[in-house]
Amino acid sequence: MKTLLTTLVLAAYITHANADETYVAVAANFAAPAHKIAAEFEKRTGHKAIIATGATGKFYAQIVNGAPFDILLSADDETPAKLEKEAQSVTGKRFTYAIGKLVLWSPKPAIVDANGDVLKRGGFDHLSIANPKVAPYGAAAVETLKALGAYEVVQPKLVVGENIAQTHQFVATGNALLGFVALSQVLKDGKIEGSSWIVPEKLYSPIRQDAVLLNKGKDNKAAAAFLEFLRSNKTAKDIILSYGYSL
């Protein structure tokens, strides 16, 4: 009995010693896949990845001011590069974990047509986009509108979400009839509700989303394992693809 107890305590201790926690800051557009990947990661490795979601720009300010994150899954490639340049992150641990896709979406059927002509045709009061100054999906939306020559026309109708989650919220609540959101937000089981137009990639520069290991996570085993899992595990990759990202 005593031996059994000792073994159990020892086993518990060992499991605990090998299972680490890592804090991961995740861009709002990647929130849903990140939670799924974290669950798979925990199942396979025993490590725990704790996900915090928000706007990339806000995370940058928090990281520079000492936020306890080990990893940043950014919505762009500029922020991770900036962090590396400013010695806030571990050099050589930066990689693109997903390439985001932009979609023009309305929860109502027959609003958005297959060519996005609705943008020029009008017939809506508000078009929701993410803040182009800070959100890569917002910048991509403006690029698209300019490429179509529709920017001047729709500018008075733009309503601006502080990140892509709020942009989606404006459209989902019906307050804006349509908006430019991330494909990952509206793709459910390979389908999109309402009407949508997946913006051709030639209309905007690719939204490369980079991951970076921050200084806080330098010696964290779970952080290293999570990045490795995200980069090369097949299940993780399948989850990313299932949300409409490309790799």
Residues that bind another protein (CB under 8 A): 55, 57-58, 60-61, 125-126, 128, 131, 133-134, 158-162, 166, 169-170, 173-176
Rounded Cα distance between 133 and 160, Å, is: 10
C-beta closer to another protein: residue 128 or 220: 128
Nearest approach in angstroms of CB 132 to another protein is: 10
- The least CB distance from residue 139 to another protein, in Å, is 11
Burial of 202 (0-12, 13-18, 19+ CB in 10 A): exposed
Q: For the CB of residue 231, give the shortest distance to another protein in the complex, in Å.
A: 27
- Contact indicator for 194, 111 with CB cutoff of 8 Å: yes
**Whole-number minimum distance, CB 156 to another protein, in Å?**
9
CA distance 12 to 14: 5
Closest to another protein by CB, 130 or 230: 130
- Least distance (Å) between residue 57 CB and another protein: 4
Q: For residues 128 and 196, which CB has a smaller minimum distance to another protein in the complex?
A: 128
Number of Cα atoms under 13 Å in the Cβ half of residue 64 = 13
DSSP code string of 149-217: T-HHHHGGGEEEESSHHHHHHHHHTTSSSEEEEEHHHHEETTEESSEEEE--GGGS--EEEEEEEBGGG
Q: Which is nearer to another protein, 20 or 77 (CB)?
A: 77
Q: How far is the CB of 14 from another protein (least distance, A)?
A: 43
Among residues 88, 101, 73, 125, which one has the least CA distance to residue 202? 101
Lookup: tokens for 74: 């950014």
**Strand partners of residue 182:** 102
Comparing CB distances to another protein, the nearer of 49 and 134 is: 134
Q: How many CB atoms lie within 10 A of CB 22?
A: 25
Judged by beta carbon, residue 45 or residue 56, the one nearer another protein is: 56
